[in-house]
Amino acid sequence: MDMQTKPPRTAAEQAIQDSFAEMIGQLPGDAAVMVARDKLLSAIDDAGLPTRRIESWHYTDLRSLLRGVPSKPSGRAGRVDPLVWGSVVLPVVQGRSTDLTAPEGMRLTPFSKVLQSGEAARLLTERGSDDLIGQLNGAFVGDGYSFTVAADASMDKIIEIQSVQSGGQVHSRFQAAFEAGAKATVIERYLGDAAETGLSTSISTLELADGAEVTWIILQGRGGNDQHLAQLSARLGENSTLKVYVINAGGKLTRQELHVDVAGEGSHFDLRCVNLLAGDSHTDVTLTLGHSVPNTTSREIVRNVVLGRARGVFQGQIKVAQLAQKTDAQMSCNTLLLSDDGEFSAKPELEIFADDVICGHGATVIDIDHSHLFYLMARGITEKSARGLLVNGFVDELIDEIDNEVLVEALETLVEQWLADHG
């Protein structure tokens, strides 16, 4: 007999259960999907929201951090111009996708249709008992997109998934398959409404077949009261390349998980993550990266700018399997701490079971370099602008690596604007 008593539900935990009761009638899916949703919801109820006692959530105690769980989308939201003119936009407005005609080289279905098709139940699973994002998203997911880029297709236009939310709850899923030799650049862009309080979860699943080359950019610009819990899972086939850029520049509470399996020989994974943190926000980027076969490489660079009372977290775990000889993996996390009240926690973790590998990690916390500041000021640049240039430079160094000048410019403008607004 189990004598343990569960702590009482927090307001947020109660609201999750209430929301489900309220929304269940409108959530798409067949009976199998409903069963899967129920199962995931009870998993949340049994374990409660994760606290600092759960290792993977140690720095983001969701039980105390998750405040409002609003019911339905409340405010008004509409599509905006894409970040780069001419992009193919896949809109998700207040959680609803549009049934669009796919551009050439691509097959595209709204995820609500996938849920109704009876194939989706197998997708609504958890990665483990601590996978709150998988549980919450699986229980509530309403829409999103499923798309496939055909073999050897080279998408010359950027694909922009544009999630616009104004308050309420939105749970989306993006299933992306890149067939052998496919090339594409995808932006996953989140916009919010500063006047509203929203909750969103999002799961993106990327499958890269042999030789695929994908640049995937996550641009999180939710409103200052929003809570955003997101997860990207990716599996890399032979000789494929995945470059993921994450830019966090918004939200009150953000958790971005990245689970990457470098599973094909000769494949390469890159992560460049920029966290722009201000106010009293809490932002967590958690990476688990597995090198499971020989001859693979990865580079992870995280750069953080911390202002105000913001708190940031980076957990980076690299696992190199015994089989994965000749792995070359390097991870670094650099923080520009510009406020005495700001905070950043970095937790690198290497688990290496192979003996012939190059693996390294480093974490630094720095202030503005005074010799750099003096040099710029000696040219007549005021201290304020000089600092701005240096902070921009710290971040732009990562963005400059993107192989698309128009996109680089758009992202740098975004960073500049953020710093002008918050600096």
Partner 1 sequence: MLEIKNLHARIAEDGTEIIRGLNLTVKAGEVAAIMGPNGSGKSTLSYILAGRKDYEVTEGDILYNGESILELDPSERAAKGIFLAFQYPVEIPGVATMQFLKVAMNEQRKARGEEELKTPDFIKRVKEAAASLQINPDMLKRPLNVGFSGGEKKRAEILQMKLLAPKLCVLDETDSGLDIDALKIVSDGVNALRAPDRAIIVITHYQRLLEHIVPDSVHVLYQGQVIKSGGKDLALDLEANGYAQIIEAAA
Between residues 125 and 382, which has the closer beta carbon with respect to partner 1? 382
Task: Give burial (CB, 10 Å; 0-12/13-18/19+) of 383.
Answer: exposed
The residues, ordered by sequence, that sit 6+ positions from 33 with a Cβ below 8 Å of its Cβ are 115, 118, 120, 121, 124
Using CB under 8 A as the binding rule, the residues of this chain from 348 to 387 that contact partner 1 are 370-372, 374-383, 385-386
In the set 393, 409, 413, 421, which binds partner 1 (CB under 8 A)? 393
Between residues 206 and 247, which has the closer beta carbon with respect to partner 1? 247
Between residues 61 and 412, which has the closer beta carbon with respect to partner 1? 412
Q: Name the β-bridge partners of 229.
A: 201, 255
C-alpha span between 358 and 137 (Å, rounded): 36
Task: Identify whether the C-beta of residue 71 lies closer than 8 Å to the C-beta of residue 141.
Answer: no
389 binds partner 1 (CB under 8 A): yes
Task: Identify whether the C-beta of residue 68 lies closer than 8 Å to the C-beta of residue 197.
Answer: yes
Question: What is the closest distance, in whole angstroms, from the C-beta atom of residue 420 to partner 1 in the complex?
Answer: 14
Between residues 53 and 379, which has the closer beta carbon with respect to partner 1? 379
25 binds partner 1 (CB under 8 A): no
In the set 13, 261, 392, 419, which binds partner 1 (CB under 8 A)? 392
Using CB under 8 A as the binding rule, the residues of this chain from 179 to 238 that contact partner 1 are none
Question: What is the closest distance, in whole angstroms, from the C-beta atom of residue 299 to partner 1 in the complex?
Answer: 16
Question: What is the closest distance, in whole angstroms, from the C-beta atom of residue 31 to partner 1 in the complex?
Answer: 54
Between residues 101 and 371, which has the closer beta carbon with respect to partner 1? 371
C-alpha span between 341 and 235 (Å, rounded): 39
Task: Identify whether the C-beta of residue 307 lies closer than 8 Å to the C-beta of residue 341.
Answer: no
Question: What is the closest distance, in whole angstroms, from the C-beta atom of residue 227 to partner 1 in the complex?
Answer: 31
b/e map 97-123, b = 16+ CB within 10 Å: beeeebeebbebbbbbebbeeeebbeb
- The contact pattern for partner 1, residues 256-295, with x = CB under 8 A and - = no contact, is ----------------------------------------
Between residues 224 and 388, which has the closer beta carbon with respect to partner 1? 388
In the set 140, 245, 394, 418, which binds partner 1 (CB under 8 A)? 394
Between residues 64 and 364, which has the closer beta carbon with respect to partner 1? 364
Question: What is the closest distance, in whole angstroms, from the C-beta atom of residue 249 to partner 1 in the complex?
Answer: 17
- The contact pattern for partner 1, residues 398-417, with x = CB under 8 A and - = no contact, is --x-----------------
Task: Identify whether the C-beta of residue 134 lies closer than 8 Å to the C-beta of residue 162.
Answer: no
Length of the chain counted residue by residue: 423
DSSP annotation of 28 reads -
Total interface residues for partner 1 by CB under 8 A:
24
Reported as type and span, the H/E element at residue 146 is strand 143-149
**Angle (CA) 322 258 353, round 5°:** 10
Q: Name the β-bridge partners of 306.
A: 277, 337
Q: Which residues bind partner 1 (CB under 8 A)?
A: 370-372, 374-383, 385-386, 389-390, 392-397, 400
